[in-house]
Amino acid sequence: MTDENNIAQTLERVRQILETQSPSDAARVLLELHPADQAELFNELDEKQRDLLLPELDIASMADLLEELEDDEVLDAVDILSNERLADVLDEMEPDEAADLLGDLPAEQVTEVLSQMEDADEVLPLLGYTDESAGGLMTTWYIALRPRTTVAQALQFLRDVNPNIEVPYYLYVIDREKRLKGVVGLRQLVISAPETKIETIADPEVIFISSQEDQEEAARLMTRYDLTSLPVVDHELRLVGVITHDDIIDVLEDEATEDIYRLANMSDADLEPESPIREQIKGRLPWMYVNTLTALFASWVVTHFKSLIAEVAILAAFQSVVAGLGGNAGSQNVAMMVRAMALGKAEPKMIWKAFRKQVMVGILQGLAVGIVVGIFVALWQRNPVLGLILGLAMVFNMTLAGAIGTLIPFVLRYLGQDPAIASTILVTAATDSLGFFIFLGLATLFLNNLR
């Protein structure tokens, strides 16, 4: 099942047809693909081609396609639709996707479009939640039953409701006040006798989440308990929606991107190689300035050794080896701690055990690298004392890197910060400044043997 070739071929066909024949023929060819592939192809077209093609799709296909596009791509695409047509499409879309789209439109257009939608009541309850909350992730397309419903009635209900419904494999049991009381899997339903009451086969131990909780908690629960869907309740424990597995995968990917970006000192996880330059600068430059401060602080440390360096200029060539490799070792620790925290594998109580272990790793790595570099530079520069202080400084600095690189993520988390944010900068600041200080300080002590 390779899709890339298929998409490339279809893209060629669609382009040709758009040039020579009618856009409606091109639309028919596009629809031969899976909606996810349609979206990829659609993005490859230029704007004029997209504007020709989109109106040719029937409402249901348009809804499927729009669900697969990224937020900004959707906005570009629906530009050419009338509010009336847009309202029809939104009625067809999954309510959570429709709410996301509406959330990106100008306020006056939202009112206008909502007033023309038939199923506005499915989408309205979703508009109040922030993007990052469990409520912002959920859909209102789920199936809820009363406890006294029979299996036969439930099956009949399934035959009657919207066949596009996203979460047909779990049915939720609610009481008169809509409070969540249990869950029953479709499989349990089909293997039970028709007259069985739902309450007797439902599992009352249902795992749920509050709509105000962070979406990361939803991802954590669904991952931990291997759930394909997670019911969402309001503050009175009333069922208000359901989060489905595909939304969770997006959350997990966004979280990983965020961690990777923060470890590399970028604050905007939406940045992509082709993002507008203004966005890139906005997401990257602030951290560059923070880094500049720490780099200048390290320079200030070196300025104190100006006369030493004037006398033994070769020191300038090796100070960066100490600082750089220390920073490297520290980054390894930070990456390991941040990842362990993200995966829930780093509890506060393990801090001392991890700390001792990482200091030991720092000492050993320092020895392993320091001895090799020390001997090499001693021979290369025909200066055994230079080799000695270089090796010693590396052992010190890497031990320090192990200690600081382990502690800083814990400290940041303790302060309520994301452990990924600024960890790298703080660790590098320490390994740079202290690396210079240790190396040049040792050189000062051994100056008489060094000349």
For residue 394, give both structure tokens.
């590396």
Contact positions with a copy of itself (CB under 8 A) in 375-394: 376-377
- Site stretch for a copy of itself (CB under 8 A), options 73-81, 101-109, 113-121, 373-381: 373-381
Size of the site for a copy of itself (CB under 8 A): 110
Residue from the set 152, 158, 371, 385 that interacts with a copy of itself by CB under 8 A: 158
Residues 6+ apart with CB under 8 A from 111: none
Per rule CB under 8 A, is residue 159 in the interface with a copy of itself? yes
How far apart, in whole angstroms, are the C-alpha atoms of residue 59 and residue 86?
9
Residue from the set 46, 176, 277, 451 that interacts with a copy of itself by CB under 8 A: 277
Q: Report how far Cα 69 is from the mean position of its chain's Cα atoms.
A: 17
Residue from the set 61, 133, 211, 358 that interacts with a copy of itself by CB under 8 A: 358
Residue 243: strand pairing partners: 230
Measured from the CB atom, the residue of 117 and 342 that comes closer to a copy of itself is 342
Among the listed residues 424, 403, 256, the one whose alpha carbon sits nearest the alpha carbon of residue 335: 424
Measured from the CB atom, the residue of 80 and 364 that comes closer to a copy of itself is 364
- Site stretch for a copy of itself (CB under 8 A), options 11-19, 84-92, 98-106, 366-374: 366-374
Is 231 within 8 Å of 180 (Cβ atoms)?
Answer: yes
CA end-to-end distance (rounded Å), the chain: 69
Q: Residue 265, Cβ neighbours under 10 Å: how many?
A: 19
Contact positions with a copy of itself (CB under 8 A) in 80-139: none
Alpha helices in 240-350 (DSSP H): 245-263, 277-303, 306-311, 315-342
How far apart, in whole angstroms, are the C-alpha atoms of residue 44 and residue 53?
13
Per rule CB under 8 A, is residue 421 in the interface with a copy of itself? no
For residue 414, the minimal CB distance to a copy of itself (Å) is: 16
Per rule CB under 8 A, is residue 228 in the interface with a copy of itself? yes
- Tell me the per-residue interface mask from 166 to 205 with a copy of itself, x by CB under 8 A, - otherwise: --xx---------------xxx-xxx--------------
Rounded (10°) CA dihedral 442, 443, 449, 451: 180
Per rule CB under 8 A, is residue 447 in the interface with a copy of itself? no
Per rule CB under 8 A, is residue 372 in the interface with a copy of itself? yes
179: left (phi over 0), alpha (psi -120 to 50) or beta: beta
How far apart, in whole angstroms, are the C-alpha atoms of residue 418 and residue 160?
47
Residue from the set 75, 350, 445, 447 that interacts with a copy of itself by CB under 8 A: 350
Is 403 within 8 Å of 358 (Cβ atoms)?
Answer: yes
Distances (CA, A) of 389 to 168, 300, 396, 441: 69, 21, 10, 9
For residue 384, the minimal CB distance to a copy of itself (Å) is: 17
Per rule CB under 8 A, is residue 263 in the interface with a copy of itself? yes
- Look-up: residue for tokens 């298929």? 6
Measured from the CB atom, the residue of 1 and 415 that comes closer to a copy of itself is 1
- Site stretch for a copy of itself (CB under 8 A), options 97-105, 106-114, 221-229, 442-450: 221-229
Residue from the set 246, 348, 416, 451 that interacts with a copy of itself by CB under 8 A: 246
Per rule CB under 8 A, is residue 60 in the interface with a copy of itself? no
